[in-house]
């Protein structure tokens, strides 16, 4: 299927063609002249026509084509804008996504996917240290619960409710919710992706996590966060060469995406390329010092490169920032580990545990904390997180 859409003011011209690639035979083609306000109805019309031409055998009530998440075109447009901002992952974009989703809900309170959008936005914040897990996760779960009340069979809502199981150690419930989500709709890329990142990875099921993210990328091959985090899972699986290869591919698609940048710095560090990691930051990322994830990994690179003064300066700046806003402590612990100061590292890990930093759920697999693994304090922390050793 190929299509083309042009817009002039409120007028849409949509051309769609369906071709059998085996014999290059045209099966169907149509052109639609519509108003922007008719976009939702037009999408359904096109989907139904294609299904008819392909003679699809659908199960149940054909909800894959006929399910209507909202009948409000403006709410739908706001939802799409929210997803656009959410995918960019900067603090301002994620915060803007919540604004867009809430505006969509104001127009259609029964728009379950918009509630899922709010849940997803809050759930992702701890991974970038925009909020603590202790603060963000209840907000994410409340929005997901609202979506489930509206539509108990919405796959995305089940996956949203499963996110961040490290917050209250709801690991078994999380797995059940993710499996329910995938059972309801196996073609939602984000559900495979978050299942890998939030459950399989912390549980040390690394091969399964890699498989799930690869499945997600088959469904959504140009997703920068998914592609970048596949590099991250390779790091956790100690497949450092694959991690470097993967993150380079992602950066080639979108050099300025914060997620790809973070994993590039991390990947260079695990490959022992500390000078390259520092140079990458200074040449590419220093213009945006607001990203805690980037500057904290820079501190780790400084420490491993023997530049103790600069590493301590990164910690000092984050301590100062912590007087004004939430600051993730897990990465600060990694800097102290690189400096050989284990006692201070454990002090920071305890703070990360209390705040439910995103990184704390990855204790069992994270190579940056490897020097602490034989310490009884580390084993106790893993036990309290109910993670496998």
Q: Read off the pLDDT band of 60 (50, 70, 90).
A: very low
Given phi > 0 = left and psi -120 to 50 = alpha, else beta, which region is 306?
left
pTM of the model: 0.85
Q: Read off the pLDDT band of 26 (50, 70, 90).
A: confident
pLDDT (0 to 100) of residue 53: 66
Report pLDDT digits (tens) over 100-154: 999 999 999 999 999 999 999 999 999 988 999 999 999 999 999 999 999 999 9
Least Cα distance to 255 among 222, 282, 224 occurs for 224
d(CA 296, CA 266): 10
Q: Average of pLDDT values for 53-79? A: 69
Asked if 57 and 97 sit in the same domain, the reply is no
Residue 309 has pLDDT above 60, yes or no: yes
166 within some domain: yes
Residue 313 has pLDDT above 50, yes or no: yes
Last residue of a domain, one of 185, 220, 235: 185
Residue 252 has pLDDT above 90, yes or no: yes
204 within some domain: no
Q: In which residue are the tokens 């050989």 written?
A: 340
228 within some domain: no
In this structure, the dihedral spanned by the alpha carbons of residues 344, 346, 347 and 349, taken in order and rounded to 10 degrees, is 130
In this structure, the dihedral spanned by the alpha carbons of residues 237, 304, 296 and 217, taken in order and rounded to 10 degrees, is -30
Residue 63 has pLDDT above 70, yes or no: no
d(CA 327, CA 325): 6
β-strand pairing of 25-35 with 11-20 = antiparallel
Asked if 323 and 385 sit in the same domain, the reply is yes
Please give the residue that has the higher pLDDT: either 12 or 353.
353
Least Cα distance to 294 among 311, 307, 281 occurs for 281
Domain of 147, CATH number, reads 1.25.40.10
β-strand pairing of 11-20 with 2-8 = antiparallel
pLDDT (0 to 100) of residue 45: 79
Residue 379 has pLDDT above 60, yes or no: yes
pLDDT (0 to 100) of residue 2: 85
- Can you give the length of the chain in residues? 389
The answer to which of 34-38, 269-273, 317-321, 338-342 has the lowest mean pLDDT is 34-38
Residue 202 has pLDDT above 50, yes or no: yes
In angstroms, the Cα distances linking 281 to 189, 190, 235, 256, 305 are 30, 29, 19, 12, 14
Q: Average of pLDDT values for 357-371? A: 95
Report pLDDT digits (tens) over 314-347: 999 889 888 888 889 999 999 999 999 999 999 9
Tell me the residue range of the domain where 298 lies: 289-389
Asked if 29 and 130 sit in the same domain, the reply is no
Residue 65 has pLDDT above 90, yes or no: no
d(CA 340, CA 25): 67
**Residues paired with 32 in a beta bridge:** 14
Asked if 312 and 368 sit in the same domain, the reply is yes
Residue 290 has pLDDT above 60, yes or no: no
CA angle centred on 201, ends 196 and 202, rounded to 5°? 130
Please give the residue that has the higher pLDDT: either 164 or 121.
121
Last residue of a domain, one of 185, 202, 237: 185
263 within some domain: no
Q: Which two tokens stand for residue 186?
A: 């196996």
275 within some domain: no
Q: Give the chain as a 3 state SS string.
A: CEEEEEEECCEEEEEEEEEECCCCEEEEEEEEEEEHHHHHHHHHHHHHHHHHHHCCCCCCCCHHHHCCCCCCHHHHHHHHHHHHHHHHCCHHHHHHHHHHHHHHHHHCCCCHHHHHHHHHHHHHHHHHCCCCHHHHHHHHHHHHHHHHHHCCCCHHHHHHHHCCCCCCCCHHHHHHHHHHHHHHCCCCHHHHHHHHHHHHCCCCCHHHHHHHHHHHHHHCCCCHHHHHHHHHHHHHCCCHHHHHHHHHHHHHHCCCCHHHHHHHHHHHHHCCCHHHHHHHHHHHHCCCCCCHHHHHHHHHHHHHCCCHHHHHHHHHHHHHHCCCCCCCCHHHHHHHHHHCCHHHHHHHHHHHHHHCCHHHHHCCCCHHHHHHCCCHHHHHHHHHCCCCC
d(CA 289, CA 162): 32
Asked if 91 and 181 sit in the same domain, the reply is yes
Asked if 41 and 126 sit in the same domain, the reply is no
pLDDT (0 to 100) of residue 111: 97
How many distinct structural domains can be found in the chain?
Answer: 3
d(CA 381, CA 353): 8
Residues 302, 278: contact at Cβ < 8 Å?
A: yes
pLDDT (0 to 100) of residue 61: 42
Q: Read off the pLDDT band of 36 (50, 70, 90).
A: confident
235 within some domain: no
Q: Which two tokens stand for residue 303?
A: 């420490």
Last residue of a domain, one of 157, 185, 213: 185
Residue 301 has pLDDT above 90, yes or no: yes
pLDDT (0 to 100) of residue 294: 59
Residue 58 has pLDDT above 80, yes or no: no
């Amino acid at each position: 299927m190929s299509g083309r859409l042009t817009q002039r003011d409120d007028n849409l011209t949509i051309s769609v063609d369906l071709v059998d690639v085996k014999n290059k035979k045209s099966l169907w083609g149509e052109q639609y002249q519509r108003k922007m306000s008719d976009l939702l109805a037009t999408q359904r019309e096109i989907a139904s026509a294609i299904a008819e031409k392909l003679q699809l055998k659908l199960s149940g009530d054909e909800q894959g084509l006929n399910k209507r998440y909202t009948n409000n075109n403006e709410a739908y447009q706001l939802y799409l804008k929210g997803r656009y901002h959410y995918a960019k992952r900067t603090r301002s974009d994620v915060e803007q996504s919540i604004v867009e989703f809430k505006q969509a809900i104001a127009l259609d309170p029964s728009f379950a996917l918009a509630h899922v959008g709010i849940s997803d936005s809050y759930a992702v914040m701890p991974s970038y240290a925009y909020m603590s897990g202790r603060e963000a996760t209840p907000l994410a779960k409340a929005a997901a619960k609202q979506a489930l009340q509206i539509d108990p069979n919405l796959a995305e809502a089940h996956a949203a409710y499963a996110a961040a199981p490290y917050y209250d150690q709801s690991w078994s419930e999380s797995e059940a919710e993710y499996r329910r989500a995938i059972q309801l709709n196996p073609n939602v890329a984000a559900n495979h992706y978050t299942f890998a990142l939030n459950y399989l990875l912390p549980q040390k099921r690394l091969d399964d996590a890699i498989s799930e993210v690869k499945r997600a990328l088959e469904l959504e091959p140009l997703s920068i966060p998914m592609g970048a985090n596949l590099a991250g899972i390779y790091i956790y699986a100690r497949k450092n060469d694959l991690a470097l290869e993967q993150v380079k591919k992602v950066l080639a698609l979108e050099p300025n995406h914060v997620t790809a940048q973070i994993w590039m710095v991390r990947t260079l560090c695990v490959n022992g390329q500390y000078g390259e990691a520092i140079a990458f930051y200074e040449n590419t990322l220093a213009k945006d010092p607001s990203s805690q994830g980037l500057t904290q990994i820079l501190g780790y690179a400084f420490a491993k490169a023997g530049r103790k003064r600069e590493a301590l300066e990164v910690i000092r700046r984050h301590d100062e920032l912590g007087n004004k806003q939430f600051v993730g402590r897990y990465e600060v612990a990694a800097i102290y580990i690189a400096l050989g100061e284990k006692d201070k590292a454990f002090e920071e890990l305890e703070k990360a545990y209390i705040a439910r930093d995103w990184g704390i759920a990855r204790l069992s697999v994270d190579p940056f904390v490897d020097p602490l693994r034989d310490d009884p304090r580390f084993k106790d922390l893993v036990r309290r997180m109910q993670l496998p050793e």
